[in-house]
Amino acid sequence: MSNLKVTNIQSKGTGFNDVVSFQNASGTQNGTLCRAWVNFDGTFGTSPFTIANGGIRDAFNVSSITDNGTGDYTVTFSNALADANYSFSVMSATGTAGYVGNHWILNDVGSNITTSSLSLIAGYSQTSGGTGSAADSPAVSVAIFR
């Protein structure tokens, strides 16, 4: 067993999508990197994070969050991804005790999942199985894997 202890690993290419490949001993790819992530305050108004960090607590490969309406957000990437076949993971908090939990709705796959951005709507239902409605979320986390 050997350990690799370095500060940086550079890919040979200079493009954002020239990613380092992780492979097993047979040369089969066995892992990929997170290509973008962000943690932001989707209420844009009352959180102490909003002014201090521009509403975005921290991020990688994200140039902006756009507030399109109640619970309606667009995450735009600093560097476009190779294609729109990426996987995304989203979590959010309701910020209100007693609500069942957030679900996420994609309005239209074609226009809301692109190489340059991902649009999402946060919502919740107040009862289990109840009708949901869009709502701002004070803690939204998005991670993109490709």
Partner 1 sequence: MATYNYENKRVIFDNGEGGVSILVPSPNCELSLEQIIDKDIPAGRSKDTLEASELPTDRTYRNAWTKGDRQVGINVEKAKALHKDKIRAVRDPLLAAEDVAYMRADEAGNNSEKQAVRVRKQALRDVTNIVDTATITATDVNGVTAELKAVWDADILGDNPL
Contact residues: partner 1, CB under 8 A: 38, 40, 43-46, 50-56, 58-59, 61-70, 74, 76, 78, 116-117, 133, 136
The residue (of 32 and 74) whose beta carbon lies closer to partner 1 is: 74
Q: Say if residues 104 and 94 touch (Cβ distance below 8 Å).
A: no
DSSP 8-class letter at 48: H
Please state the closest distance from residue 109 (CB atom) to partner 1, in A: 19
The residue (of 17 and 53) whose beta carbon lies closer to partner 1 is: 53
Please state the closest distance from residue 100 (CB atom) to partner 1, in A: 15
Element (H, E) at 112: helix 109-112
Please state the closest distance from residue 96 (CB atom) to partner 1, in A: 11
Structure tokens given for 95: 């910020």
SS3 per-residue string spanning 115-136: CCEEEEEEEEECCCCCCCEECC
